[in-house]
Amino acid sequence: MIEFHSVTKRFPDGTLAVEDFSLVLPSRKTTVFVGSSGCGKTTLLRMINRMIDPSSGSIEIDGVDIASGSAVALRRSIGYVMQNSGLLPHRRVIDNIATVPLLKGVKKADAHTQAMELLDTVGLDRALAYRYPSQLSGGQQQRVGVARGLAVNPNILLMDEPFGAVDPIVRDDLQQELLRLQHDLDKTVVFVTHDIDEAFLLGDQVVILEKGAQIAQVGTPKEILANPASDFVASFIGADRGKRRLAVDSTVARSGDDVVLVDGAGYVAGVIEAPGGVLPGSGVGVGTNSRARSVSNKTDQAGDA
């Protein structure tokens, strides 16, 4: 469990990046910080591994103030994955993954064996182990970055827009992989993104931030979608423009038990199951102009993540 207690960060140049931020990030869950550029997401994340020190307030991990120990020891106990993988260009993939275990004194052979297993874990071929980072694609580099983050078997994994620089298809792939990993490994993940779809897909707890890391709303994706706390949130998640307010399309002839859903602008958003012409849980027959409140087809897995 990570707790922020009234954390404020003012940079030397006077920028107030985070102002009086308090939040509990539950263990073994994924918390996503989402908000537009410059709202303080990275600053929040980097205060957890003491890459940035708060100006005031405190952060606790499992009840222990992180400022009490050494910063290096703290960082070695936390996985960190960043946008451009941050791999060391002069080390082969296998040595990149094994970096921290080797620093901690793990025997080279053991560290390499474990690094090979981590390649499997993140879905990379073991043949890539002896390449240099520049010989990998962006998506492959990100996977290596995740493997390195997992190498010390940390309880906490910090991820700062890890999939921001890869193309949408690879991003989809990586997101699914992360969901699978999280299902298997049960880490406390703190994930930063400015993509609300990604936030809803990956987050158990989603924190929507405004400038100065002011919490606009915190909750599960379902809660936020069902009850946007403010116009800002509604606008941020796209609810106000009708992007997420879906309706059954009555103009298309139905075949089978699926009905087509359209968004507020009339674009096709996906299909929904309606066995026997009845929407599950609603008891409402389809074909009329009944409206369904739902997430888009891309985010509908968020609820069971």
Ligand X SMILES: Nc1ncnc2c1ncn2[C@@H]1O[C@H](COP(=O)(O)OP(=O)(O)OP(=O)(O)O)[C@@H](O)[C@H]1O
Q: Choose the binding region for another protein from 16-24, 125-133, 185-193, 250-258 (rule: CB under 8 A).
A: 125-133
What whole-number distance in Å separates Cα of residue 127 and Cα of residue 116?
A: 9
Residue 205 in contact with Mg ion, rule: CB under 5 A: no
- Cβ closer to another protein: 71 or 252? 71
Q: Are 143 and 174 in contact (CB under 8 A)?
A: yes
Whose Cβ is closer to ligand X: residue 43's or residue 217's?
Answer: 43
For residue 243, give every residue at least 6 positions away whose Cβ sits within 8 Å of its Cβ, in sequence order, or none.
263, 264, 265, 296
The secondary structure element, H or E, covering residue 109 is helix 108-121
**Which range of residues in 10-18, 20-28, 137-145, 289-297 is near ligand X by CB under 6 A?**
10-18
Binders in 48-77 for another protein, by CB under 8 A: 49, 51, 72-77
Cα–Cα dist 97/134, whole Å: 15
193 binds Mg ion per the rule CB under 5 A:
no
Residue 37 in the binding site for ligand X (CB under 6 A) = yes
Nearest-angstrom CA–CA distance, 46 and 71: 12
**E strand map for the chain:** 2-10, 16-25, 30-35, 56-61, 64-65, 78-81, 156-160, 188-193, 205-210, 214-219, 245-248, 258-262, 268-273, 291-293
Of 86 and 238, the one with the shorter C-beta distance to another protein is 86
Residue 42 makes contact with Mg ion by CB under 5 A: yes
SS3 track for 152-190: CCCCEEEEECCCCCCCHHHHHHHHHHHHHHHHHHCCEEE
13, 125, 184, 304: which one binds ligand X (CB under 6 A): 13
User: Is 208 a binder of another protein (CB under 8 A)?
Assistant: no
How far apart are CB 220 and another protein at their closest, in Å?
28
What character string, x for contact with ligand X (CB under 6 A) and - otherwise, covers 169-208?
-------------------------x--------------
Q: What is the size of the binding site for Mg ion (CB under 5 A)?
A: 1
Which window, 4-12, 20-28, 163-171, 184-192, contacts another protein (CB under 8 A)?
Answer: 163-171
Query: Which residue's CB comes closest to Mg ion?
Result: 42
Token readout for 194 is 């400015």
Rule CB under 8 A: say whether 9 interacts with another protein.
no
Cβ proximity to another protein, 91 vs 298, nearer residue? 91
Q: Which residues bind ligand X (CB under 6 A)?
A: 11, 13, 15, 17, 35, 37-43, 194
Q: Which residues bind Mg ion (CB under 5 A)?
A: 42
